[in-house]
């Protein structure tokens, strides 16, 4: 049973930090490229960051330099460290295997107040 569960969201002031966790069950993330996505109200889901099996990382331009994606294959967890948060970062954040559009988890809400 493949499942993804996101944790760590919350409400913070602009400029503060949050660290999100994505706990995967039913498959080993060690053999998968993983990614974080987000969906703001009235917007489409967008790719935020991705990380290959060897630790190579890519970011959406709007978050580059502020967000860091990482992975712990032994724990089967993917992380997203978010620093210098801005109101426009407010969204529901999801994780998933890259190039897959199913098995989405419930996401975790991030709200950044100005």
- Low-confidence stretches of the chain (pLDDT < 50) are none
Distance, CA of 56 to chain centre: 15
Please give the pLDDT value at position 1: 87
Residues 114 and 95: their CA atoms lie apart, in Å, by: 26
Residues 45 and 91: their CA atoms lie apart, in Å, by: 9
Residues 13 and 18: their CA atoms lie apart, in Å, by: 10
Beta-bridge partners for 51? 34, 57
Six-digit token string for 39: 């969906």
Please give the pLDDT value at position 45: 96
Q: Find, among 5, 18, 1, the residue nearest to 91 by Cα.
A: 18
Please give the pLDDT value at position 25: 97
Tens of pLDDT, residue by residue over 3-17, are 999 999 999 999 999
Alpha-carbon distances, residue 41 vs 9, 27, 45 (angstroms): 16, 31, 10
Q: Are 104 and 5 in contact (CB under 8 A)?
A: no
Beta-bridge partners for 78? 22, 71
């Amino acid at each position: 049973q493949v499942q993804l569960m996101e944790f760590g969201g919350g409400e913070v002031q602009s400029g503060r930090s949050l660290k999100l966790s994505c706990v995967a069950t039913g498959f080993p993330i060690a053999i998968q490229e993983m990614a974080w996505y987000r969906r703001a109200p009235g917007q489409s889901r967008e790719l935020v960051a991705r990380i290959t099996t060897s630790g190579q990382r890519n970011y959406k331009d709007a978050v580059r330099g502020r967000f860091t994606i990482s992975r712990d294959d032994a724990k089967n967890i993917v992380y997203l460290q978010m620093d210098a948060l801005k109101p426009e970062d407010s969204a529901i954040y999801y994780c998933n295997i890259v190039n897959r559009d199913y098995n989405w988890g419930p996401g975790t809400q991030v709200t950044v107040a100005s």
